[in-house]
Amino acid sequence: MPVDSQGRFGPRQEVIGRSAMVETPSQEAPRRRFDPLTAVAVVFFLMAVAFAAAPAINAGPATLAGLMLLVGLAGVACLGLFVLRSTLEPPSEAEPGADRLVEALSEPAALAGVDGRIHACNGPWRDLFGDAPRLPKGGTSASSLFSALGAARRGETAHATLRAGGHDHAADITPVGPRRFLVRLRPAAPEPLALPAAALEVLTAAATAKAPPPKVLDAFAAASPFGAALLEGEDPFNAVIVEANPALAAMAGQVERGRAFGDLIESQARQDAAQRLAQGAEGALEVRLARDPAKIAHLYLTRAGGRWVAYLVDVSEQKQMELQLAQSQKMQAIGQLAGGVAHDFNNLLTAILMQLDSLAARHPVGDPSYEGLNEIRQTSNRAADLVRKLLAFSRKQTVQREILELGELISEFEVLLRRVLSEDVTVETEYGRDLPHVRVDRGQLETAVMNLAVNARDAVRAHGGSTVRIRTARVTEAKAAQLGYAGAKGDQALIEVSDDGPGIPADVMDKIFDPFFTTKPVGEGTGLGLATVYGIVKQSDGWISVASKPGEGAAFRIFLPVHLAPAAAAPAAPLAKAKPQARDLSGAGRILFVEDEDAVRGIAARLLRARGYEVIDAASGEEALELAELHAGEIDLMISDVVMPGMQGPDLLKQAREYLAGAPVMFISGYAEAEFSNLLEGETNISFLPKPIDIKTLAERVKQELQKAA
């Protein structure tokens, strides 16, 4: 039995080892051998010591130098005799059982001492290393052998590399007794089993063989809620259907075995998907179904052997939500753009209208320039109306809400509506029962209904219709959801404007509320009618929906929240208010006018001065604050723009209030009052005047504010 990898012996070798290491009492101690060379060395060593001691003896041992020399020589003599004694010891001989121990091992093995001298070895060792008396220490094996012997002396099993016959051999070195080590070479790794070429070919073919193509859909695909089909063919769109699950039949219609899979997909979508697949596209391929092109699905294709597995997932609702979100974001972005453009345009219109007032005072009726100035004014008013529509769309128009009864509002407006619509168009009105009150801006709501009625008139006249219907009603939350307002909360007030025209094409349905989009001929529409309606309804906290089918007309439904009047409260007794001392209420007073637009500030200040007012003008909020501090208690009215570079109008008011001494403040802006009203919490004696304005309107409001403050 060979020694194991940890250097432990089997039972037989362990017995042999113990017998080899234990000396029996009957064995005699080895005799010392006489070596002539050693005897000569001892004689010469003693003579050298004697000759070295002679000078010290002659000088006298009583001297310090002589005494030290004699002591040193005595030490050297003792050391030399100890060394010479060790050399006279007999050489180590192998224990009686050492030969039997190593001969019992099948691998090359030897017993060696700490100096590398070999005491016993077996036949395989001699075949490999010959009759060398020591372990090989040359080449790269020297360092590893030295380290291994050191580890073995500490009782550890060490490993070394021995070189013989031009090859390195791994060896294990194990301590087996005092200053004795067993050195064994590890057996070489077995050579791989050589197989015939035919057997290797069979094994290679088995390892690289592909799984056979599936014959049926797996249980997961067959029971999945999305469409799945197993296809036979190289091209998935020309491949025939081998098997399909019920979900695919419910999505794409009748799916029979042997039908081409591409027939289930709309032709253009099939061509696009095939092109993307040929280009190496990965993931889902977006397709439309031939049964219903409005349905959108994601197609996933997987190659399995010589067949394809196709999965169709219906994403129509997801796409619809994505389109609605994109539409909402687009309308919001356009609204912000339109509001910004309208604000800047209002400043320009204000400057134009005030300059016209200045010129009209110098060119009255009968002047050759009067007619031209009048044309400019009319054009400016048309531009101002266009700006109001942009502000209505962007929901930044100034709103003056009031509580109105829905039926009364529409009945009063119906008279004007019949005059606007042509005589060949019939207007039918239907008033429901228990009509609610609504809190809206009357002018805005009339504009919205007028725009819808005019659009309906144009539709029926151009395509052979004859009737425009206006219906009002009070609807419940559930009824509002059925009519297109899924997010309704509580009862809603309904205003429906419908016609019997051709209806709205499906391809333009998602664009009808976009500003400047129109289907009318060039020159017959601005494209802001429905966009204005959309902005007015949203600014009134309402909702608008459209229902239309080709050939059956269209119906626009406006939903407004029902206004519930709060419980009446007892009126509080008015507090006596001390009136401040007025300076001059007949066109006199000191006004702080703050406006960053130079054209507006210059002409307004000049025209107000011409009407008797003292005007202190400032181009920024910071400059106005300094002037207010300089004229503290002397300002009768402050007129300020809202949006300015640096300090805004509301911020100016909060910081300048202590210098105004209760004087009224009037804000003028192209934006709606609602845009900044939250910034004026806690402020009183404030009014608002929307741009564009002319000097007549401005002068009247200035006089009113000064009179109220008197």
pLDDT one-digit tens code per residue, 500-545 = 888 888 777 877 877 667 766 555 555 667 887 888 888 788 999 9
pLDDT in tens, 452-469: 888 888 888 766 667 888
**pLDDT of the residue at 367:** 83
Q: CATH number, domain at 181?
A: 3.30.450.20
pLDDT in tens, 97-137: 667 777 888 888 888 887 778 888 888 888 888 888 888 76
Domain identity same for 531 and 429 = yes
Structure confidence at residue 494 as a pLDDT band (50, 70, 90): very high
From CA 48, how far away is CA 318, in angstroms rounded? 112
Domain identity same for 516 and 408 = yes
**pLDDT of the residue at 407:** 85
| Count of structural domains, the chain | 4
**pLDDT of the residue at 202:** 62
**pLDDT of the residue at 336:** 67
Asked whether the beta carbons of 618 and 593 are under 8 A apart, the reply is yes
Average pLDDT over residues 351-361: 84
Domain identity same for 410 and 498 = yes
Average pLDDT over residues 345-358: 84
Given a cut of 50, whether residue 16 has pLDDT beyond it is no
- Does residue 454 lie within any of the structural domains? yes
**pLDDT of the residue at 460:** 81
**pLDDT of the residue at 18:** 40
Domain identity same for 510 and 635 = no
Average pLDDT over residues 552-571: 77
Q: Identity (one letter) of the amino acid at 386? A: L
State which of 185, 202, 227 marks the end of a domain. 185
Tokens of 236: 């998935």
Domain identity same for 526 and 457 = yes
Domain identity same for 158 and 231 = no
SS3 475: strand
From CA 513, how far away is CA 583, in angstroms rounded? 53
Residue 294 has φ and ψ, to the nearest 5°, of -75, -20
Structure confidence at residue 4 as a pLDDT band (50, 70, 90): very low
Q: CATH number, domain at 546?
A: 3.30.565.10
- Does residue 209 lie within any of the structural domains? no
Domain identity same for 609 and 702 = yes
Domain identity same for 548 and 616 = no
Tokens of 510: 């998602």
Domain identity same for 162 and 282 = no
Percent pLDDT > 70 in the chain is 71
- Does residue 115 lie within any of the structural domains? yes
**pLDDT of the residue at 216:** 66
Q: Give the range among 68-77, 192-201, 417-426, 644-653 with minimum mean pLDDT.
A: 192-201
**pLDDT of the residue at 1:** 41
Structure confidence at residue 618 as a pLDDT band (50, 70, 90): very high
**pLDDT of the residue at 224:** 80
Given a cut of 90, whether residue 31 has pLDDT beyond it is no
Residue 207 has φ and ψ, to the nearest 5°, of -70, -35
- Does residue 174 lie within any of the structural domains? yes
Termini Cα distance of the chain: 126
**pLDDT of the residue at 474:** 92
Average pLDDT over residues 138-155: 74
CA–CA–CA angle 530, 532, 535 (5° rounding): 110
- Does residue 65 lie within any of the structural domains? no
Asked whether the beta carbons of 512 and 454 are under 8 A apart, the reply is no
Averaged pLDDT score across all residues of the chain: 76
State which of 540, 561, 582 marks the end of a domain. 561
Average pLDDT over residues 625-635: 91
Structure confidence at residue 141 as a pLDDT band (50, 70, 90): low
Q: CATH number, domain at 678?
A: 3.40.50.2300
Closest CA to 629 of 661, 598, 588, 593: 661
**pLDDT of the residue at 15:** 35
Closest CA to 408 of 445, 448, 455, 456: 445
Number of C-beta neighbours around residue 134 at 10 A: 12
Closest CA to 342 of 404, 386, 284, 278: 386
Domain identity same for 430 and 548 = yes
Domain identity same for 226 and 176 = no
State which of 165, 185, 205 marks the end of a domain. 185
From CA 149, how far away is CA 175, in angstroms rounded? 9
Percent pLDDT > 90 in the chain is 9
Domain identity same for 521 and 606 = no
Closest CA to 102 of 117, 119, 115, 114: 119
- 643 versus 472: the higher-pLDDT residue is 472
Number of C-beta neighbours around residue 307 at 10 A: 18
Structure confidence at residue 676 as a pLDDT band (50, 70, 90): low
Nearby residues of 412 by Cβ (< 8 Å), 6 or more positions away: none
Percent of residues in the chain assigned helix, strand, coil, to nearest 5: 45, 20, 35
- Does residue 44 lie within any of the structural domains? no
Q: Identity (one letter) of the amino acid at 709? A: A
Q: Which domain holds residue 259?
A: 219-314
Segment 271-279 long-range contacts (CB within 8 Å, at least 24 positions apart)? 273/237, 273/299, 274/235, 274/237, 277/236, 277/301
Pair type for strands 554-561 and 492-499: antiparallel
Asked whether the beta carbons of 305 and 233 are under 8 A apart, the reply is no
- Does residue 342 lie within any of the structural domains? no
Given a cut of 60, whether residue 471 has pLDDT beyond it is yes
Given a cut of 90, whether residue 627 has pLDDT beyond it is yes
Average pLDDT over residues 564-571: 57
- Does residue 416 lie within any of the structural domains? yes
